[in-house]
Structure 1
Amino acid sequence: MDAQNKQDWMTIRRDNTSSALERAYAEGLTGLTVASRKGKRITLKEGGTFTEFVSCSYLGLETHPSLIEAAHQALGTTGLHLSSSRSAMRPVYLPQLESLLSEIYNGCGISVFTSTSSVHLGVLPLLGSNSLKSYPIRKRVHWLMDKTAHASMQVLRGILQQFGEVSRVQSTDPESISSVLGICAERQETPILLIDGIGSMSGLVPIAQLCSRLEQAGGYVYVDDAHGISITGRHGAGYALAAVDNQLPRNMVIAGSLSKAFGGAGGFVVVSDPQDVPLIQTLANPLVFGHSIMVPMLAANVAAAKIHLSNEIDILQNHLWHNVRLFDSLTHNRLLNAGVQSPVRGAFFETEGDGLKACRILRANGILMFPVFYPIIAKGKAMLRFAFSAAHTENDIQQLADSLSEVAHAGLWKTHMAPA
């Protein structure tokens, strides 16, 4: 197929997407409208109270009294929003938050964005254009896009190609990485590997080994650790930093989230040298042309950061991993990620129809989860995604395990299969 007739990725996705998700919406199996909640129990607008395993707030900090009080106080002093880019006007909580995050990350350079996706959009062009002096580029970059990297990076492929070639690799396959690194060496290109730390649907990536491998090749590793932030590591610095002994290598950049286990809203970047931060804040498009995080959420982020710097973060992490281990034990390690230090588990089904039937059984038993179909997994398959939290009780975990046993007894779910 020639370039003129080649289909774009959105057309391919549209033409291969079935009606399974629409059916899930129509039946109230997903697309839920929440009227109220107490802990992990949510009441829907349409009626009914359920235990949810949907939220990515893995430590339950979004309902912590300190965060709620901080947000209330900010509303009283500053209102909802300073609708301005940070270069023109910024809430007092923004520099406070960046200072606290720098303490969590051992003095590294920090800049806060409105989302992790905005971090990618702002920082990757700076990396590719040789703008960050702590991450020098030899001749031209060559992006190594891991096949399991988050969609928020995958969708930037057209932008990244303005700075260098993009090759898709499998980060867990040494031969896949070596092949592209060999090309980079021949062309004198600087390789930049783009990966997730903890996948939203799958397991862990070997951060330390990849960082060492890219260092030998004169390249860099850019880690989207959105799902790894807060749940592990000293001060909740996350999976990526913990994997490298809590000391950021000179050839690593971390993109983190404040919207998941951290408990608040927004994203941030961690760079090895604080001297790169002023350039990020004056050149990154989302910071120059976008607004700051809403003031109450910034204040809540500050409160969350203080919790991360206290012993409370260790207690919350221990609660989370106790719940995860209990679930794995009750389900006999049958789900995706079983035994892995990830707060996400997945049950796979051979057909979308079986996945929808399983959703109905779980909902009837008072359980809500996230049903997943193509393009997140292989066409025609289904997966039920379960996100665990420190806020879940042991009764919640038992309720889910018993409900999955009912799904298995119905002949819908026989084994744990890896997604194609």
Structure 2
Amino acid sequence: MLKSRLEARLAHQREQGQWRERLSMSPNPRAKLRDFASNDYLGLARDSRVAEALAAGARQEGAGAGASHLVNGHSPAHHALEERLADLTGRPRALLFSTGYMANLGVLQTLCDSETRVFQDRLNHASLLDGARLAQSPSRRFHHRDLADLDRLLTRTPQERDKLVVSDGVFSMDGDTADVEGLAATCQRQGAWLMIDDAHGIGVLGEQGAGLVGQRFSVSQVPVLVGTLGKAFGSFGAFVAGDEVLINALTQFARPYIYTTAQPPGVARATLRAMDISEQESERRERLHAHIAGFRQAAKTLGLPLMDSTTPIQPILLGDNQRVMKWSLHLREAGFMVGAIRHPTVPRGTARLRIVLNALHEWHDIQALLDVLAELKDQEVKVS
């Protein structure tokens, strides 16, 4: 019976045009499709200096940590990375997690219970929604980036309840950003804590890549800051930054932290090296933001249906699943890897190509991508 139910779900997934495929990507850059899909924003994932730091760490300390941070898996490299992340984000402390998903689950499970009221932006990442569910906290989702709707929901909440407002910093499928200043002011007025998941902002936005929140907002304005290491820094893992009380609470009570083997020390060393490069080679961010501006200007000239984003995530809104898969397949045949994003990752009727720019792209590659997109658009116009 269980197998039959799974088979029915799988068949439905195919029928709805929502089937997901894994691609085995060659490590040989010359054999790869031109990558406009990954979140390697600064081009550090294959940087030889970062790779060597990973290898040196493995040679010195082994391939794995061997245990959780609270047993004997916490190495000097882990400790140094936590201190570096706290310094980057202007927080007293930071705590490493194995993945961003686990960091969000750990924070929400620690901070929330059935008496806590959680308010989430409607477009928040799945890990944030799942974290509130696992904590069994009553949750309300406010309209995307709508401070008035959030304020209305908070006003209706009994004063005696603990309140936590949660938002992505950069929304991973739309590329737009949260109004952190407005969220912080609303939370302070309403007596709520604010949690920002800045996974796609760390390394890309702010001074020296401190992110959307970083040094701009104090720990009293944004008490809970989450970031990931596998995007702009090109390595793996995540962290939570905040004050002493928050980090101690996570260390003592966050089950995804307590019961998980620590990331390999070599990974921590690779991240430290990537942070060095990010700080010393600010031209990577400058080049990336120049690409973003150039792409948007050219795409608007071509009449492509861009979404409102000034980050490396540049979605082309196509609407239905069949259309987005047709465009995606054509792009792949033309030598481009671009994400085709469909429901349930995004709302029904908002399927899109998720084009992601990075600092290593050459303008001629971006122009070639735009040429194929223009060709696809023109073909549709001629058919109609």
Pair in the same fold by TM > 0.5: yes
1:32 pairs with 2:33: no
1:347-405 Cα deviation digits (max 9, x unpaired): 12243222222122212221111111111233365311111100111111101110100
1:168 pairs with 2:141: yes
Counterparts of 1:60-209 in structure 2 under 5 Å? 60-89=43-72, 90-128=74-112, 140-161=115-136, 164-184=137-157, 186-202=158-174, 203-209=176-182
Aligned equivalent of 2:3? none
Which is worse superposed, 362-371 or 171-180? Answer: 171-180
Letter in 2 for 1:293: Q
Which is worse superposed, 84-93 or 347-356? Answer: 347-356
Aligned counterparts of 2:14 and 2:117: Cα–Cα separation in 1: 31
Q: Out of 223, 240, 246, which is 1:269 matched to?
A: 240
Q: Out of 224, 227, 244, which is 2:200 matched to?
A: 227
Contact 1:225 1:239 in 2 (8 A): yes
1:58 pairs with 2:30: no
Higher relative helix content: 2
Letter in 2 for 1:87: L
1:287 pairs with 2:278: no
Question: What SS does structure 2 have at the residue aligned with 1:77?
Answer: helix
The verdict on how the C-alpha distance between 1:174 and 1:299 changes in structure 2, with shifts beyond 3 A counting, is closer
Aligned counterparts of 1:149 and 1:413: Cα–Cα separation in 2: 38
The verdict on how the C-alpha distance between 1:250 and 1:19 changes in structure 2, with shifts beyond 3 A counting, is closer
Offset, 1:344: 0.6
Question: What SS does structure 1 have at the residue aligned with 2:69?
Answer: coil
Offset, 1:287: 1.8
Aligned counterparts of 1:155 and 1:125: Cα–Cα separation in 2: 10
Letter in 1 for 2:61: T
Aligned counterparts of 1:14 and 1:230: Cα–Cα separation in 2: 41
Aligned equivalent of 1:392? 361
Aligned counterparts of 2:9 and 2:252: Cα–Cα separation in 1: 37
Offset, 1:174: 3.0
Question: What SS does structure 2 have at the residue aligned with 1:205?
Answer: coil
Q: Out of 307, 316, 336, which is 2:284 matched to?
A: 316
Offset, 1:341: 2.4
The verdict on how the C-alpha distance between 1:378 and 1:122 changes in structure 2, with shifts beyond 3 A counting, is closer
What's the RMSD between the two structures over aligned residues?
2.5
Aligned counterparts of 1:253 and 1:13: Cα–Cα separation in 2: 38
Aligned counterparts of 1:75 and 1:241: Cα–Cα separation in 2: 31
Aligned counterparts of 1:81 and 1:257: Cα–Cα separation in 2: 20
Aligned counterparts of 1:293 and 1:381: Cα–Cα separation in 2: 36
Letter in 2 for 1:63: R
Aligned counterparts of 1:413 and 1:382: Cα–Cα separation in 2: 22
Aligned equivalent of 2:214? 241
Aligned counterparts of 1:250 and 1:175: Cα–Cα separation in 2: 19
Aligned counterparts of 1:188 and 1:413: Cα–Cα separation in 2: 62
Aligned equivalent of 1:212? 185
Letter in 2 for 1:148: L
1:233-261 Cα deviation digits (max 9, x unpaired): 1221111336xx25333443111000111
Q: Out of 367, 377, 380, which is 1:411 matched to?
A: 380
Letter in 2 for 1:258: L
* Count of residue pairs the alignment pairs up: 372
Offset, 1:21: 3.7
Letter in 2 for 1:78: E
Structure 1 length as normaliser, TM-score? Answer: 0.82
